[in-house]
Amino acid sequence: MSALRERLFAGLSAVAQPERAGAMQAYMKSAMPYLGVSSVPLRQVCKELFAGLDWKDSAAWQADVLAIWRGARVREERYGAIALTGVRAARGWQRMDALPMYEEMIVSGAWWDFVDAIAGQRLLVLLQAEPAAMKAAMLDWAVCDNMWKRRSAILCQLNARGATDLDLLERAIAPSLDSKEFFLRKAIGWALRQYARTDADWVRHYVAAHEGRLSGLSKREALKRVGAGIP
């Protein structure tokens, strides 16, 4: 049993509002129960508990993350595990050998709250650290059978802005253009909408070029803030 996991559970329990747990579980459509800890106190608990933590190597850090993730009894513990992946002490270990850990969390988490936090916040760091290897991995994910890995490949550059690899973005989206999966259609629109903050014209042209294949949802999301006009 992980001592860190037990301290996390105790810290979360101390700030929980049990009367909120049922509504939180219903909103997230979660089979895993909640304690009733909202985002602000959850972040504070994690900040205080994880401050000063150090590990001898990446394997030790990953072991602590996965002990919390795999042993979680409530959903907030898994949010804590995701927070632990982003602590300052782990910055040097955001390399390709961390990808299997993130893959496990994405596949076993299999819901948007977990997946989007990892895809949008962690995978980009790996892509920046090892662009060639990570790009190849994301292109593999983009064509795999697991919908959440496909979504992650589409969303992995959400915060890349001007450093966005447009070849990767297009090739990550392409295999899912005809999908009827809501979470893939939404991801396509979200990724395009985010990049429109950097280059709205590129996004307008992309949407126009794929007019016949993009879903209405993807198009609406992509053009939400920029409109469809092409200069």
User: Is there a domain that residue 42 lies in?
Assistant: yes
- pLDDT tens string for the chain (231 positions)? 589 999 999 999 999 999 999 999 999 999 999 999 999 999 999 999 999 899 999 999 999 999 999 999 999 999 999 999 999 999 999 999 999 999 999 999 999 999 999 999 999 999 999 999 999 999 999 999 999 999 999 999 999 999 999 999 999 999 999 999 999 999 999 999 999 999 999 999 999 999 999 999 999 999 998 877 765
User: Is there a domain that residue 167 lies in?
Assistant: no
**CA of 65: how far to CAs of 81, 104, 143, 166, in Å?**
5, 11, 28, 32
User: Is there a domain that residue 25 lies in?
Assistant: yes
User: Is there a domain that residue 214 lies in?
Assistant: no
User: Is there a domain that residue 83 lies in?
Assistant: yes
Q: What is the pTM of this model?
A: 0.95
User: Is there a domain that residue 127 lies in?
Assistant: no
Q: What domain count does the chain have?
A: 1
User: Is there a domain that residue 46 lies in?
Assistant: yes
First to last CA, the chain: 61
For 94-128, letters b (16+ CB in 10 Å) and e give beeebbebbbebbeebebbebbbbbbbbbbbbbbe
Rounded to 10 degrees, what is the CA torsion of 120, 174, 112, 97?
Answer: -50
Q: For position 70, which CATH number holds?
A: 1.25.10.90
User: Is there a domain that residue 20 lies in?
Assistant: yes
User: Domain limits at 84?
Assistant: 1-93
pLDDT (0 to 100) of residue 229 = 75
Give me the helices (H) in the chain, please.
3-15, 18-28, 39-50, 58-71, 75-85, 99-109, 112-121, 123-129, 131-142, 147-155, 166-173, 182-196, 200-209, 216-222
